[in-house]
């Protein structure tokens, strides 16, 4: 049975029970119109609620899909991060092994480097005696610092090259300085020492007679003052005057005595 007919029947029944006999047909019609309007309003409300429910379901489905997509992307990122973490762990293990290997080689190098510095210090004890004690002491201090781990590779090498270069630079210098010389023949004498690089260290006495020069022999360096020829003595005095600027520069024969070659050496 249609809804309107059912409602109309109910209304008519109500009117039949309530209204007196003189109720007119027009009043019944007005009541029917009101009921129709109520029905239409209910239909609109129902339609609106259905649309709202449909929109809600569509929005819910959209948000659910977006959430699922986000979860899927998050899962992919988590998998990617796990792979990166595994790769990082592998690299860390590789780097750790390389670091251990490098540290081992560094220790070996420092050990060999310290020995090299000590060997040079020992050899320098027989070197030209210009500031020899200080040069040897500086090298021995560096060797101790390397052995004790106070100095690293880079700093140690820099200091080593600096000391070596400083030790070599004086070979190109010329200087004259005042001092006393103990002569085995004339006792203590005042005069001037003249040094020409690492080739000559000579003494010219103020008395104009005492002269000596440092000669290299097989055992090291010794002062030569006995049995010097007049020419050698004069050359020493001339070299001192030239170095002091007292006379014009000129060629001077430098007394020099090289150590004897070792038999069997090539």
Rounded alpha-carbon distances, angstroms, from residue 257 to 112, 213, 222, 238, 254? 35, 10, 10, 19, 10
- Rounded to an integer, what distance in angstroms lies between the CA atom of residue 229 and that of residue 121? 36
Interstrand relation of 187-196 and 174-183 (parallel, antiparallel or unpaired) = antiparallel
pTM score = 0.54
List the chain domain ranges: 106-169, 173-244
- Rounded to an integer, what distance in angstroms lies between the CA atom of residue 259 and that of residue 257? 7
Give the DSSP H/E element, type plus range, for residue 224: strand 220-224
Q: Residue 130 phi/psi, 5° resolution? A: -80, 115
pLDDT tens, position by position, for the chain (266 residues)?
455 445 455 545 554 555 454 457 788 788 888 888 888 888 888 888 888 888 888 888 888 888 888 888 888 888 888 888 888 888 887 778 877 887 788 888 888 989 999 999 998 888 888 888 999 999 999 999 998 888 888 898 999 999 988 888 888 888 899 999 988 877 888 999 998 888 889 999 998 888 999 888 877 888 888 888 889 889 999 988 888 888 888 887 877 554 455 454 44
Would you call 250 helix, strand, or coil by DSSP? Answer: coil
Q: Check: CB of residue 189 under 8 Å from CB of residue 210.
A: yes
- Rounded to an integer, what distance in angstroms lies between the CA atom of residue 217 and that of residue 224? 11
């Amino acid at each position: 049975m249609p809804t309107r007919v059912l409602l109309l029947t109910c209304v008519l029944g109500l009117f039949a029970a309530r209204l007196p006999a003189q109720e007119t047909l027009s009043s019944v019609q007005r009541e029917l119109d009101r009921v129709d309007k109520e029905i239409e309003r209910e239909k609109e409300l129902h339609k609106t609620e259905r649309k709202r429910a449909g929109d809600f379901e569509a929005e819910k489905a959209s948000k659910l899909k977006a959430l699922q997509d986000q979860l899927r992307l998050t899962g992919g990122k988590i998998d990617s991060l796990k792979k990166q973490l595994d790769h990082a762990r592998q690299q860390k293990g590789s780097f750790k092994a390389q670091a251990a290997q490098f540290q081992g080689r560094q220790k070996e190098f420092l050990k060999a480097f310290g020995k090299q510095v000590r060997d040079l210090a020992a050899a320098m004890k027989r070197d030209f005696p210009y500031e020899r004690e200080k040069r040897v002491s500086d090298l021995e201090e560096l060797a101790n610092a390397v052995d004790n781990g106070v100095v690293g590779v880079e700093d140690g090498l820099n200091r080593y090259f600096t000391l070596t270069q400083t030790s070599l630079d004086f070979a190109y210098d010329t200087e004259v300085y005042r001092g006393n010389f103990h002569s085995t023949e004339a006792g203590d004498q005042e005069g001037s020492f003249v040094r020409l690089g690492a080739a000559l260290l000579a003494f010219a006495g103020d008395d104009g007679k005492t002269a000596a020069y440092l000669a290299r022999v097989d055992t090291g360096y010794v002062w030569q003052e006995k049995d010097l020829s007049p020419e050698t003595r004069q050359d020493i005095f001339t070299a001192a005057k030239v170095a002091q600027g007292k006379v014009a520069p000129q060629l001077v024969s430098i007394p020099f005595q090289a150590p004897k070659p070792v038999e069997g050496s090539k």
